[in-house]
Amino acid sequence: MIEAGSSVTYGSLLRYIKPYRMVFFLALFGAVIDAAMKAFFVWLLSPILEHGFNQQDPQWVRLIPFLVVGIFFIRSVGNYMAAYGFTWVGRQIINDLRWQVFNRYLQLPQRFYDQHSSGGLLSRLIYDIEQMANGVSKNFVLLIREFLSIVFYLMVMFYFSWQLALVAFVVFPVIGGVVHQINKRFRRIGHGIQDSVSDITNTAEEVIRGHKIVKLFQGNQQEQQKFQGNLKANRQLQVKIAATKEVLSTITLMLVAFALAVIMYLAAKNGMPAADFMAFMTAMLALLPTVKNLSTIFATVQTTMAAADSVQQVISAEPEQDEGEVELDSEYIDIQFKHVGFAYHDDTPALHDIDLHIKAGEKVAFVGTSGGGKSTLVNLVPRFYDINEGELLVNKRPVKSYSLESLRRHIAVVSQEIVLFNDTVKNNIAYGALRSCSDNAIHKAALQAQATGFIEQLSQGFDTLLGENGTGLSGGQRQRIAIARALLKNAPLLILDEATSALDTESEQAIQQALKTVMKNKTTLIIAHRLSTIEHVDRVVVLEQGRIVQQGSHRQLSAEAGPYRQLLDSQQLSR
C-alpha cells in the first residue's frame, strides 16, 4: 500500500538490512511465531468452549491451563526474538547511516556547505536518520507482524465460515484505496516536519554559537520570536499528521465495523454454532486494532520516506571531484593563474581574467576592499573551488591533474576563522596526518608560534582539553595554536588569511618574526587587511571587484598614486 513512487525508495532502504539479514530473519521468525500463536489461541477457543465448558470433558479441562500457559510462553519467546532482533538491527542501521552521512560530509565540496546550514546538516545526521532507521527496522517489523496477524486471523475466520470471512475480506481493498490516497498527504506533511526540525536545530545552533552577540545586541526577544515560530510550525505540522492519522484510523474502523455488523447479522440468521461464532468473532475483533495499527504504520512509513529523502540527498550528493592521478611530491610550489575566471553562481562572476605567476619561494600578499576576491582567489589553489575558465597550474601542471590528497598535503593554512577541536592542545597542534609527530617537534612549533608560555600555564599543559573550539582560550591564544599547527606541518605552500589578526601588538611582532623564519624558502600567500603586516613581502597584488588592478612591492606601490596608496592612507588616518 506504499505509493508506487515511494516503493522504490522504501525498497532501497531495505538494502541496509542485508549485512544483518541473519539476525533480521531470526527476528522475523519470532514475529511469525508471535502472530501465529495469537491466531492459534483464538482458534482454540472453539474446542475449549465446546469440550471444556459445554461437554465438561475432564481431559480437556486438565489440558486447558497447559495450553494457555504454553501458547503464551511460546508467544513471549517469539515476541522477545522479534523485539530484540529488530532493535539490534535498527541500531546497527542507524550507526551505518550516520557513518555513511558523516563520511559524505567529509567528502563534499565547499559549494555544498555554502548552500546548507550547519543546523540543517546536523538535523539530518541525528533526527532524520533516526526516523529513517525506524522505518527500515521498527516500522517494517510492525508492518510484517500486523500483516501476519491479519493473515492468521483471516485463516481462522475462513476455517469457521468462509462465507462470513469473505465479507471481511472484501473490506480490505477498500481500506487499501483509502490508505493510498491519504499517504500522499502524509508524505507532504512529513517533508514539512523534516524542514521544521532543521529550522529548530539551526536556530538553536546559531544562538548557542553566537550567544555573546545575542546578549550584547539585546537579541533575546528576536531569537525567542524566531524559535517560537519554528516551534509553532513544527507543532502545527505534528498536529496535522496526528489528525490525518486519526482520520485514516476512523475511516478504517468504520469500514471494519460495517463488515462486523453484516457478519453478526448473517451468523445469527444462519444459526452458526455458538462456540464457532465466539472464536470467529474473537478473531474478527482482534482484527480491528490490528488493521488500525496497520493504517497507522503506513502513515508513519510516509514520515520515514520524507526523512529518507533528505538523508538520500546527502548520500547521493556529488563528492569533490578528485580525478587527478599525479602524486604531487615537491619541496617547492610554483603557481600560475592563466586568464582565470570564477563564479559562485553563473550570473555573478567573482574573478575576472586573473593572470598571475607566483614563483616558488615567493611571498605574495593579496589586498583590497572587502569582497574584492582575495579569499576566493586563494581558495582556488587547494581546490576548495574549481575554476570556470582559464588555467590554474601548480609546478607547471594543471592543478586538477594532482590528487586532492597529495595537493593538500603540500599546503598549510592559518585562517582568521580559527578551528580548534574538542581535544588536547597537543592533538590540536598535531592534527590529522601530523599525529605521528614527536613531542619535541610539537613543542618547537608552539615555541615558534609564541604559544609555549600560555600553554604551560594551563592545568595540564599540552595535555589540557580545550573544549569546543577552544572556548576557554583568548582569541590570540587560539590563533597561536592554529599557527603552531601550520608551522608543524612545514608545507612548501603557506596560506595566511589574517593569521595575526587576533594578536596584540607585542605578540604580533613576535609572530611576524617567527613567520619570517617559517616562510623562508616557502611559497606564501597572504590575505591581508592590515597593510603594516605585509611590508616584508616580495609582491603585493591589489584586487578590486575580482580583477587585479595593481601589483608590485610594498615600497613601489606606496610611492605611486593608486588603489594601494589609497588603502595605505586610509589605514594611517584611522590610527
Q: In what order do the strands lie in the sheet with 348-358?
A: 348-358, 335-345, 389-394, 397-398
- Say whether pLDDT at 524 is over 90: yes
Higher pLDDT pick, 48 / 3: 48
Least confident of 93-97, 216-220, 393-397, 496-500: 216-220
Q: 90-126 pLDDT, tens per residue?
A: 888 888 888 888 888 888 888 888 888 777 788 788 8
Helix (H, G, I), strand (E, B) or coil at 348: strand
Measured CA to CA, the distance from residue 134 to residue 19 in angstroms comes to 17
Percentage of the chain lying above the pLDDT 90 cut:
24
548 bridge partner residues? 543
Residue 393: per-residue pLDDT: 96
Nearest 10 degrees: Cα torsion 136, 141, 146, 147:
70
Q: Where are the beta strands (DSSP E) in 42-142?
A: none
- Highest mean pLDDT among 7-11, 15-19, 427-431, 468-472 belongs to 427-431
Residue 287: per-residue pLDDT: 75
DSSP state of 45: H
Q: What is the mean predicted confidence (pLDDT) over 259-281?
A: 79
Q: 357-405 pLDDT, tens per residue?
A: 999 999 999 998 888 899 999 999 999 999 999 999 999 999 999 999 9
Is the distance from CB of 357 to CB of 364 less than 8 angstroms? no
Q: What is the mean predicted confidence (pLDDT) over 425-449?
A: 90
397 phi and psi angles, rounded to 5 deg: -120, 150
Higher pLDDT pick, 262 / 460: 460
Place of cell 569533490: 320
What is the dihedral sign for C-alpha 564, 568, 573, 575? positive
- Say whether pLDDT at 44 is over 60: yes
Higher pLDDT pick, 439 / 293: 439
Query: Could you give all domains of the chain from N- to C-terminal order, each with its CATH number?
Result: 4-315 (1.20.1560.10)
Residue 353: per-residue pLDDT: 92
Residue 216: per-residue pLDDT: 56
Query: For residue 260, which of 127, 335, 129, 167 has the smallest C-alpha distance?
Result: 167
CA distances from 17 to 252, 310, 548 (A): 31, 20, 56
- Strand pairing of 335-345 and 389-394? antiparallel
Measured CA to CA, the distance from residue 255 to residue 267 in angstroms comes to 19
Residue 399: per-residue pLDDT: 94
**Helices 138-160 & 58-107 angle (0-180, nearest 10):** 150
Q: 54-81 pLDDT, tens per residue?
A: 778 888 888 888 888 999 999 899 989 9
Measured CA to CA, the distance from residue 124 to residue 529 in angstroms comes to 37
Residue 5: per-residue pLDDT: 38
Residue 441: per-residue pLDDT: 93
Q: What is the mean predicted confidence (pLDDT) over 247-275?
A: 78
Mean pLDDT of the chain: 83
Place of cell 507482524: 145
**Cell numbers linked to 308:** 529518507
Instruction: Tell me if the pTM is above 0.85.
Output: no
DSSP letter string over 231-284?
Answer: HHHHHHHHHHHHHHHHHHHHHHHHHHHHHHHHHHHHHHHHT--HHHHHHHHHHH
Q: 148-179 pLDDT, tens per residue?
A: 888 888 888 888 887 777 777 777 677 767 77
Residue 3: per-residue pLDDT: 39
Higher pLDDT pick, 544 / 180: 544
